[in-house]
Structure 1
Amino acid sequence: MNNSRALLRELCERWEARKGIKVSISTMHRRLEKLKLTTKKTLYAKEQETPRIKKRRFEYRDWVLKIDPHDLVFIDESGINLGMTRLRGRAVRGERLDDSCPRNRGSHISLIGALSLDGLIATMSLPGSVNTEVFFT
């Protein structure tokens, strides 16, 4: 495995093996940040390389290019929890941080929006989650 896919723990172990200096995971993380090295998704579906899929992707691209951009509408869904309970906090190292909250931390609201070249053309909010039935309503 090359260094680009190594876990922080593995990088620390390799550093210690090569340099004889033990470093913590957080030190390795800070150093990588300073070098502007970020994590990336490294895998894609092997099927993307097959001639059949390459041909279908080209056909799809060709089809999409024929669509008038003014006819396109993009729909997306997002949700928020109205409880807004924070799950983390700060405390002095070595000291415990305790807090409590109601078991049901607030109701969930789903938002659906439709966007075109003309801007936001439709919105909908509803309690709970979005399922297929709600989406096609």
Structure 2
Amino acid sequence: MVVANNEIRLREIQARIIADQDVFSNIPSISVATIDRVLKRHHLRMKQIYKVPFERNSDRVKELRHRYVQRMMELEGNALPHVFVYVDEAGFNLSKVRRRGRNLIGQRATVFVPGQRGGNITLCAAISTQGILAHIPVMGAYNTQRVLAFLDVLYDRLVPPEERDQVRSVHVVIWDHVAFHHSRDVRAWFEAPPHMAMEFLPPYSPFLNPIEEFFSAWRWKVYDHHPHDRMPLLDAMNAGCRDISAESCQGWCRHARRYFPRCLAREDIRCDIDEAMWPDRRQRADQ
């Protein structure tokens, strides 16, 4: 019952046990405390519930994941080297702080933040197995014109002027389905240079995008620089990027590839915390 319905309550389990006289015919009554002890004995614990969209493991999405991985493998097998570059945007606001802290028992854990929420600052970044390739923060949100400016900077760093007359490799920008990624101007930009191409991630598949883990780590790096009182937020955002090594980016890229066999097999991928940290179900036991 618990495995089939993770949000079932103890009293609901109690009612089902008493009502089911086929499986539990010799149990006329049972207390909630007994049910709780039995669940703990079988390593079933109360946990935070993670919301999973219904579409995440639909047949359509699993087929799109299958095709995406096949496409990645085709590009890797191409005679011309293809370098995968993961691009995404993420916002940051000074009013956001760590959700948990420490203080004496009976006293709240508090932190000082600006009285006014202020505007969001959005960082667009690109990573690969070589590390962070580019990162540009802007006030407000990214749009078509801003992402085109970012692509120009990225192109200048990936393809030096002296190498633009010959195509030695193709840099494949991999990103999500944000509307302006599909805009006519962005598509036209990729049609111009032969050194650049783009591919889209399948929907509901953040585990296939290494830059998601980059942004998660980057936000903590920004907090470590104390943008509230030690330096401006923009400086802290740039410093947070400098704190992330190429080895970390390589690890995130390897972690995303660990899902390739499951995508090829069209398996359901819930992508909860346990599954992300321990893909082997046998390793998910509490120690």
| Structure 2, unpaired ranges of 5+ | 18-28, 107-113, 150-287
8 A contact 1:82–1:109 mirrored in 2: no
C-alpha separation between the residues in 2 aligned to 1:54 and 1:113?
23
Q: Give 1:65's match in structure 2, choosing from 76, 89, 101.
A: 76
Deviation at 1:125, TM superposition (A): 0.6
| Structure 1, unpaired ranges of 5+ | 93-100
Q: How has the CA–CA distance of structure 1 residues 113 and 47 changed in structure 2, closer, same or farther, with 3 Å as cutoff? A: closer
Q: Does the alignment pair 1:107 with 2:119?
A: yes
Say what the alpha-carbon RMSD is for the aligned residues. Answer: 4.3
Q: Give 2:133's match in structure 1, choosing from 121, 128, 132.
A: 121
- Normalised to the residue count of structure 1, the TM-score between the two structures is 0.55
What is the percent sequence identity of the aligned residues? 20
Paired AA for residue 12 in structure 2: R
Deviation at 1:77, TM superposition (A): 1.6
Q: Does the alignment pair 1:13 with 2:8?
A: no
Q: How has the CA–CA distance of structure 1 residues 12 and 131 changed in structure 2, closer, same or farther, with 3 Å as cutoff? A: farther
Instruction: Give 1:1-137 correspondences, 5 Å limit.
Output: 2-8=1-7, 10-17=8-15, 18=17, 20-22=30-32, 35=44, 41=52, 44-47=57-60, 56=67, 59-66=70-77, 68=81, 71-84=83-96, 102=115, 104-137=116-149
8 A contact 1:83–1:107 mirrored in 2: no
Q: Which residue of 2 aligns with 1:97?
A: none
Paired AA for residue 3 in structure 1: V
- SS at the partner of 1:4? coil
The structure with the greater share of residues assigned to helix is 2
Deviation at 1:128, TM superposition (A): 0.8
Paired AA for residue 12 in structure 1: L
Report how many residues are paired.
118
Deviation at 1:87, TM superposition (A): 8.5
8 A contact 1:110–1:128 mirrored in 2: yes
Q: How has the CA–CA distance of structure 1 residues 87 and 60 changed in structure 2, closer, same or farther, with 3 Å as cutoff? A: closer
Q: How has the CA–CA distance of structure 1 residues 128 and 5 changed in structure 2, closer, same or farther, with 3 Å as cutoff? A: farther
Paired AA for residue 21 in structure 1: S
C-alpha separation between the residues in 2 aligned to 1:64 and 1:128?
35
Runs of 4+ in structure 1 off by over 6 angstroms are: 85-89
8 A contact 1:74–1:114 mirrored in 2: yes
C-alpha separation between the residues in 1 aligned to 2:98 and 2:117?
10
8 A contact 1:72–1:116 mirrored in 2: yes
Deviation at 1:47, TM superposition (A): 2.6
Q: Which residue of 1 aligns with 2:199?
A: none
- SS at the partner of 1:106? coil
Higher relative contact order (CA closer than 8 Å, sequence separation 6+): 2
Q: How has the CA–CA distance of structure 1 residues 87 and 120 changed in structure 2, closer, same or farther, with 3 Å as cutoff? A: closer
The structure with the greater share of residues assigned to strand is 1
C-alpha separation between the residues in 1 aligned to 2:119 and 2:132?
26
- SS at the partner of 2:57? coil
C-alpha separation between the residues in 2 aligned to 1:116 and 1:49?
25
Q: Which residue of 1 aligns with 2:262?
A: none
C-alpha separation between the residues in 2 aligned to 1:87 and 1:63?
43
